Structure 1
Amino acid sequence: MKKNSGIYIGCGVIVLILAVAFLAGYFIGFAPQGKNVAQGSWLVLDLSGQVTDYSILQSSNFLGYNPLSVTDICYRIRKAADDNKIKGILIKPNLLQTNYANLNEIDAALQDFKKSHKPVIAHGEVLAQKDYLLCAMADKIFIDPSASAGIVLEGVASNVLFYKDALKKLGIKMHVMQEGEFKGAAEPYTQNSLSPGTEENLRKVLKSRYELIQQEISKMRSMKIDTVQNIYENRPDLTIDAQEAIKYGLIDEAATWEELQKKYDITDKYQISISDYKSGTEASISSDKIAVVYLSGNITPSINYNNPNVISLNSVDRILDKLADDKTVKAVVLRINSPGGSALESELIYQRIKAFEKPVVVSMGGMAASGGYYISCASDYIIADPQTITGSIGVVMALPEAEELGNKIGIESQTISYGKFAGAGNILEKTDPELLASLKRESASVYAEFKQRVMDSRKIGADKIDLVAEGRVFSASDAKGNGLIDDIGNLQFAITKAADLAKITKYGVESYPKKVTIWDLFRQGNWLQTSSAKAINKESNAIEPIEDYLKKTLQTNQWLYFCPYKLD
C-alpha cells in the first residue's frame, strides 16, 4: 500500500510540475520583450555571474527571466550604436564569469559601437580580472575611492586535484588505458602530481595566456608592457586601490557611483540594463546567408537535441539537415567551445560535418581541445581566437575496480557467465587481466584513428604527427605555427572567411540552434519519461553513489577524447 501511495504522489507531483511548466512556458513565450527606452538613455552592461557563448532560451520579462549570452550582448551593443535613444554605454560588471575568447567578442562589439562616436565609460567597486578587462574596453574607467574597493588582477592558474590516495583509502582501484604521453586526463587517478612532461606543457599554455592578458591591458590602456608586468609580479598588495590604480595608469579617476552619475547626468530614469534592452529577434533573411552554429559543452550522446551543455550527433545532425535543405544558406560557421568527450560521438559528428556539402569554417572559442579539436578537423578552415586552448590529441579510458571497497562495506559479488568477456567490467569484482590487455590494444587503435584524422585533414605527415599529438595542448599562436589551425581571429573573421569560401559578398547571418521557450525545451526533451521512471521505481543500487562520484570527475568505461584542464 505504501509503495502504491508513493507512486500516486510521484505521479501527482509530475502532473503539477507539467502544468506549471506549461503556464510558465506559455507566458514566457508570449510576454513582451524588454522595456521602453527613454530618449538620452545609457545602456548599462551590468554583467555578473556565468555568461555563456550562446543561449537557446528566449528572453522574457515574465518572472524577470532574461538569460543573456555573449551572442545576445554583442547583438544588443551593435544595435545600440544605431539607436538614437541610446546616448552611450556604461560598463558596470560584478564578478563576471566567462571565457577570455568571449571577452574578445564583446570587445569587438564595443569597437563597432564606438564608431558611432558615442561614449563608453566604466565604473566599478571591486573588479576581478575579467571585470577589469571588460572595463578596460571603455574610453574612461572610474573606481570607487573606498579603502575596501579596488582591482584584483589575479594572473592565470590551473588547479588539478589528485584522487589516487583517496581512492586507495576507499578501496577503489582505477585501471587506466591512455595513449599520449602528455594527455594528463588520467594522472589524477594514478599519481599524486603531474608528470614532468604534462606539467611543462601546461605551464607553456598558461604562460602564453598570461602574456596575452598583459598585452591586452597594455594595448587598451596605452601602458608600457613593463609597467603591466610589474603590476602583476611586484605590487605589494592583492587589491589595487583607486589611488594606486591611477598611478599605475589602470584607471582614469576615483569616483563613487553617485559622483559618476552626477558627472555624466545619468539618473536612474535614463539607465537601461543590457538584459532589459529591447533586442528583438533576428529578422528572416531571404537573401544569401551564413549560418553560425554554436556547439558548446562536452561531446556525448543525447536524445535531447536542445541540451545547451552537450554536443551530440543528434543535435548536429538536425541542424545540418535543416541547413543543407535551405538554399539561402551558402556556408556554415561552427563556433566550437568544448573540451571533448566521447570518442565515438566525436567520430560520428566528424563524419556528419565532413559529409556536409557546403563550406564549413570553424571558429574556436575558449577551448576546442581533444574531441573539440577532432570535430573541428572536419571543416574546410579552422580559425582560433587568440585566447583559444586547443590540441590535446590523445585518448583515455578509466575503468574502476571496487572489489576492496565491497569487502569493506560487506558487499559480495558473484557472476555466473558464459563467454570469455561476459560480465566483464563488473565494478565489484577483480578486473580480468585479459580484458585490460584487450582494452590496451584497443586504445592504440582509437588513438591511431584520431591521429589519422588529423593527418588527413591538416596534411601533416606521419613523421611529424607525434610532435603535435601525445595529448599536448597548445595556445592559438603555437597551434597556427605547427599547422593545427589555419588562422587566428574572432567570430566575425570566421564569418567573413566563410563568405569568401562561398564566393558571396552580400549576405545575412543567422544563429543556430534557433531560440525556444522553456516550454519548448521541456516538451522536446525526455524529462517527463525519466522523472516518471525515477518517481515510480525508487530502488537503487548500493554502488550508485560511487559511480556518480566517478562520473563527476571523469566518465568511466568509455573511450574519451577529453582535455581535463580548467584554464578559465
Structure 2
Amino acid sequence: DNSVLHLKLSGQINERVSEADPLTELLSSSVPTPMGLNDITNSIRKAKDNDKIRGIYIDARMLAASTASLAEIRGELAKFKESGKFIVSYSDTYTQGAYYIASIADKVVINPEGMLDLHGMSSMPMFYKDALDKLGIEVQVFKVGTYKSAVEPFILTSMSDSNREQVSSYLTDMWNSIGADIAQSRNIDLDSFNAVVNTMPMMQDTDYLLQSNLVDTLLYESEMKDYLRSLLDIEEDDKIPSASVIDMKSVKPTKTKSSKNQIGLLYAVGEITSGTGSSNIQDKYLVNEIDKLRKNKDIKAVVLRVSSPGGSAFASEQIWKAIADLKEEKPVVVSMGDVAASGGYYIACNADKIVAQPTTITGSIGIFGMFPNLKKTADKVGLSVDVVKTHEFADFGNFARPMRDNEKELLQSHVERGYELFLTRCSDGRNIPKETLALYAEGRVWTGNQAKEIGLVDELGDLRTAIDIAAGLAEIEDDYLVYEFPKMRTFIEELLDKKQNDIAAETIKEYLGNHYNVFMLVKDIKEQDYVQARLPYNFNIN
C-alpha cells in the first residue's frame, strides 16, 4: 500500500518483447534484457491510477533507444505527474537517452563521482566502397530520388551533398525537440542549455552539473535509498516496497472496463519482406492478420503501429492493398513509432489518420535496386561461369558478369514505375496533388515535426493519441477495450525458430573471420527483392 514503481532503464527498448529468456536470467543477472515499450508505458499508466503506488523511482542505467521511444516514455511520465505523485531519478552514469527521460523528474540525483553524457546528436554512416573494390565487388545501382541515400555506402566513400543536407536537417529538428523538452523541465534557457552541452558535461565534475542545473542533488546510492524511504515515510532499515515493470504486467488496471467494442492494435515492426513468417514484417503473414481484423465484427477500429525502415516494394504494395480493404469496413489510424519511412510510410499512407512523435523518422518516399557484380572476385580466385540460354534475358541476375546496357535500362524503368506507383499511393492516401507531393518525395527523410508541416502526418502524439482518435472515428469514445495483435510468441517458439539459422550463421562467421561483415553485405544485396523502398540507417540515442 506504500510502494514505488521501480523504473529500471537499461538495455535496448523494443516495441514489444516476447517472454524473457530464462537461460539468460540464470546465467547472468547483470545482462540487461530488452524491454518492451508497451510494457513500460502500460506500467506507468497503471501506476498513475493505483492508490498503492506513491511515486516512480527512475533507476537510470545504460540505455539504448530511439528518440521516439524515449519521447513516448517521457510523455507517459508527464501524464503521471498530473496525479500529484512524485517522480525521482538516480544514476551513477546518465546516458543521453536516459537523461532525456529522467529530466522530467521532480528531483534528478547523481552519484557524487558520477557522469552525465550529454553531447548532442550525430550521424556516422560507414562506407564500404573501397573495401568492396579491394574484394573485386561492384554494386550496380538503380534508384529514383535525389535524397535516396540507402545506396550511397556501396558506391561512395562519403556522404553526397544532398544526403548531408537532409541528415543535417532532421538531426537539427530532432535535437531541437529533445533540447527544448529538457531545457523546459530543468528550467534552463534553451540557448544556455545548448552552451552547456557544448562543454561536454560527461568530462565535467558533478559540481558543474549542479551549477548548470542539470541535476538537483549529489547522493550515493545508499543515500538515495534513504531519501526514498523518507518520501514513503518508512523507517531507515525497512525494505523499500517496490514494483517493477514486469510486476506491473500482472496488475489489473484500477479503472477496469467491460465492453464488446474492441480496438485492434496491430504491430508492424521491422523490415518489410515477402514471406509467411512472423519475424519482422512479412507480407503474407501481416496481410492475413489484417484480414482477420477486417472480418472480426467486435473490432470496431484498427490502430496500425508502424516501426519500420521499409524493405521490399512488392511486399509493401501487398500490405497497402490489405489496409485499403480494411479501411472500407472500419477506421484505420496509424501510430508511427521510431521510424516509419520508405516502405514503412508506404503501408501507412492510406490510413484515415496518421499520428507520429515529433522525433519519428518518416518520409523517404523513393525506390532503389542493387545488383552485385562479382566478376573481378571470381577472377581473383580462379572461378569462371559459362552460360547456355534459350532467350536473351535467360541469364538475367548472373552475378558473375556486369549487367548489359539493355538490362540496366529495363531495371531502371522497373524502378521508375515502382516510384510512380509509390507516389500515386501516397498522393491518393494523403489527398495531396501528385505534383505537390513530388516536391516532398525524392527519397527525402523527414522528422514527425517536419512531416506534419508538409501534410505527410496529421497529428503529433503517442500511441494513446492514435487510439483515442480511432475510438472517436468509430464513435466508441468511452466504451472499448484494446487488444494487441499479432499475439506474442513464447520463448520456446522463438528458440525453435532461431536455432538452425543461428548455428549456420556462427559456422560461417567462424570460417570467414574478418571477412564476415562483407559477406553479410553481399548476402543482403543478393537476397533482397530487386526493388527496395527502405532507409539506410537505424536510429538510436544512447
For normalisation by structure 2, the TM-score amounts to 0.88
Pick from 72, 77, 80 the counterpart of residue 44 of structure 2. Answer: 77
Q: For residues 241 and 389 of structure 2, what CA distance do their matches in structure 1 show?
A: 70
1:239 and 2:203 matched? yes
Q: For residues 504 and 539 of structure 2, what CA distance do their matches in structure 1 show?
A: 38
Identity %: 33
Residue of structure 2 in register with 1:355 after alignment:
325
Q: What is the DSSP-based 3-state SS (H/G/I as helix, E as strand, rest coil) of the residue aligned with 1:211? A: helix
Counterpart mapping for 1:220-235 below 5 A:
220-233=185-198, 235=199
Residue of structure 2 in register with 1:114 after alignment:
81
* Kept in 2: contact 1:158–1:566 (CA 8 A): no
Q: For residues 347 and 462 of structure 2, what CA distance do their matches in structure 1 show?
A: 19
* Kept in 2: contact 1:182–1:472 (CA 8 A): yes
Residue of structure 1 in register with 2:306 after alignment:
336
Q: What is the DSSP-based 3-state SS (H/G/I as helix, E as strand, rest coil) of the residue aligned with 2:425? A: helix
Opposite residue 219 of structure 2, the aligned amino acid is A
Which string of whole-angstrom CA distances, capped at 9 and with x for unpartnered residues, describes residues 77-113 of structure 1?
2222333433321101211111111112212322333
* Structure 1 gaps, min length 5: 1-38
Q: What is the DSSP-based 3-state SS (H/G/I as helix, E as strand, rest coil) of the residue aligned with 1:223? A: coil
Moved more, 94-103 or 111-120: 111-120
Opposite residue 514 of structure 1, the aligned amino acid is K
Shift of 1:302: 3.0
* Kept in 2: contact 1:400–1:556 (CA 8 A): no
Residue of structure 2 in register with 1:5 after alignment:
none
Which string of whole-angstrom CA distances, capped at 9 and with x for unpartnered residues, describes residues 317-374 of structure 1?
2322332232221111111111100000000000011110210001111111100011
Residue of structure 1 in register with 2:13 after alignment:
51
Shift of 1:519: 2.8
Shift of 1:281: 7.6
Which string of whole-angstrom CA distances, capped at 9 and with x for unpartnered residues, describes residues 133-184 of structure 1?
12112110111111xx221112111111112221111111111001001101
Which string of whole-angstrom CA distances, capped at 9 and with x for unpartnered residues, describes residues 192-220 of structure 1?
22221221111111111111111011122
1:192 and 2:145 matched? no
Shift of 1:286: 4.0
Residue of structure 2 in register with 1:17 after alignment:
none
Opposite residue 516 of structure 1, the aligned amino acid is R
Q: What is the DSSP-based 3-state SS (H/G/I as helix, E as strand, rest coil) of the residue aligned with 1:269? A: coil
Shift of 1:285: 5.5
Opposite residue 339 of structure 1, the aligned amino acid is P
1:327 and 2:289 matched? no
1:372 and 2:344 matched? yes
1:424 and 2:396 matched? yes
Residue of structure 1 in register with 2:141 after alignment:
176
Moved more, 374-383 or 185-194: 185-194
Pick from 427, 446, 461 the counterpart of residue 474 of structure 1. Answer: 446
Shift of 1:544: 10
Q: For residues 183 and 158 of structure 2, what CA distance do their matches in structure 1 show?
A: 35
Q: For residues 193 and 60 of structure 1, what CA distance do their matches in structure 2 show?
A: 40
Pick from 438, 442, 448 the counterpart of residue 410 of structure 2. Answer: 438
1:312 and 2:273 matched? no
Which string of whole-angstrom CA distances, capped at 9 and with x for unpartnered residues, describes residues 233-274 of structure 1?
3x2654343211111111111111111112232768325362
Please provide the CA RMSD for this pair: 2.8
Residue of structure 2 in register with 1:12 after alignment:
none
Q: What is the DSSP-based 3-state SS (H/G/I as helix, E as strand, rest coil) of the residue aligned with 1:145? A: strand
Q: For residues 146 and 228 of structure 2, what CA distance do their matches in structure 1 show?
A: 58
1:299 and 2:272 matched? yes
Pick from 492, 508, 514 the counterpart of residue 487 of structure 2. Answer: 514
Shift of 1:293: 1.4
Pick from 448, 457, 464 the counterpart of residue 492 of structure 1. Answer: 464
* Kept in 2: contact 1:101–1:386 (CA 8 A): yes
Shift of 1:550: 1.9
Pick from 118, 126, 134 the counterpart of residue 93 of structure 2. Answer: 126
Q: For residues 42 and 380 of structure 2, what CA distance do their matches in structure 1 show?
A: 58
Residue of structure 2 in register with 1:86 after alignment:
53
* Kept in 2: contact 1:312–1:349 (CA 8 A): no
Pick from 334, 345, 364 the counterpart of residue 392 of structure 1. Answer: 364
1:162 and 2:134 matched? no
Shift of 1:553: 7.3
Residue of structure 1 in register with 2:174 after alignment:
209
Opposite residue 70 of structure 1, the aligned amino acid is L
Shift of 1:313: 1.7
Q: For residues 299 and 401 of structure 1, what CA distance do their matches in structure 2 show?
A: 25
Q: What is the DSSP-based 3-state SS (H/G/I as helix, E as strand, rest coil) of the residue aligned with 2:370? A: strand
Q: For residues 335 and 534 of structure 1, what CA distance do their matches in structure 2 show?
A: 31
Q: What is the DSSP-based 3-state SS (H/G/I as helix, E as strand, rest coil) of the residue aligned with 1:198? A: helix
Q: For residues 533 and 105 of structure 1, what CA distance do their matches in structure 2 show?
A: 37
Moved more, 286-295 or 380-389: 286-295
With over 3 angstroms needed to count, the CA separation of the structure-2 counterparts of 1:389 and 1:60, relative to structure 1, is closer
* Kept in 1: contact 2:118–2:197 (CA 8 A): yes
* Kept in 2: contact 1:342–1:371 (CA 8 A): yes
Q: What is the DSSP-based 3-state SS (H/G/I as helix, E as strand, rest coil) of the residue aligned with 2:421? A: helix
Q: What is the DSSP-based 3-state SS (H/G/I as helix, E as strand, rest coil) of the residue aligned with 2:400? A: coil
Q: What is the DSSP-based 3-state SS (H/G/I as helix, E as strand, rest coil) of the residue aligned with 1:446? A: helix
With over 3 angstroms needed to count, the CA separation of the structure-2 counterparts of 1:530 and 1:87, relative to structure 1, is closer
Q: What is the DSSP-based 3-state SS (H/G/I as helix, E as strand, rest coil) of the residue aligned with 2:394? A: coil
Residue of structure 2 in register with 1:41 after alignment:
3
Moved more, 243-252 or 556-565: 556-565
Q: For residues 462 and 63 of structure 1, what CA distance do their matches in structure 2 show?
A: 51
Residue of structure 2 in register with 1:289 after alignment:
262
Moved more, 108-117 or 407-416: 108-117
Q: For residues 472 and 53 of structure 2, what CA distance do their matches in structure 1 show?
A: 34
Shift of 1:400: 0.4
Q: What is the DSSP-based 3-state SS (H/G/I as helix, E as strand, rest coil) of the residue aligned with 1:463? A: helix
Q: For residues 260 and 242 of structure 1, what CA distance do their matches in structure 2 show?
A: 16
* Kept in 2: contact 1:128–1:154 (CA 8 A): no
Q: What is the DSSP-based 3-state SS (H/G/I as helix, E as strand, rest coil) of the residue aligned with 1:265? A: helix
1:272 and 2:272 matched? no
1:102 and 2:66 matched? no
Residue of structure 2 in register with 1:34 after alignment:
none
Pick from 102, 109, 122 the counterpart of residue 135 of structure 1. Answer: 102
* Kept in 1: contact 2:142–2:415 (CA 8 A): yes
Moved more, 85-94 or 487-496: 85-94
Residue of structure 1 in register with 2:29 after alignment:
none
Q: For residues 408 and 304 of structure 2, what CA distance do their matches in structure 1 show?
A: 37
Which string of whole-angstrom CA distances, capped at 9 and with x for unpartnered residues, describes residues 488-509 of structure 1?
1111111111111111122222
Opposite residue 414 of structure 1, the aligned amino acid is D
With over 3 angstroms needed to count, the CA separation of the structure-2 counterparts of 1:555 and 1:186, relative to structure 1, is farther
Opposite residue 435 of structure 1, the aligned amino acid is E
Opposite residue 460 of structure 1, the aligned amino acid is I
Residue of structure 1 in register with 2:234 after alignment:
none
Pick from 193, 214, 218 the counterpart of residue 254 of structure 1. Answer: 218
* Kept in 1: contact 2:276–2:283 (CA 8 A): no
With over 3 angstroms needed to count, the CA separation of the structure-2 counterparts of 1:499 and 1:518, relative to structure 1, is same
Q: For residues 257 and 527 of structure 2, what CA distance do their matches in structure 1 show?
A: 41
Moved more, 469-478 or 63-72: 63-72
* Kept in 2: contact 1:295–1:311 (CA 8 A): yes
Shift of 1:45: 1.1
Q: What is the DSSP-based 3-state SS (H/G/I as helix, E as strand, rest coil) of the residue aligned with 1:105? A: helix
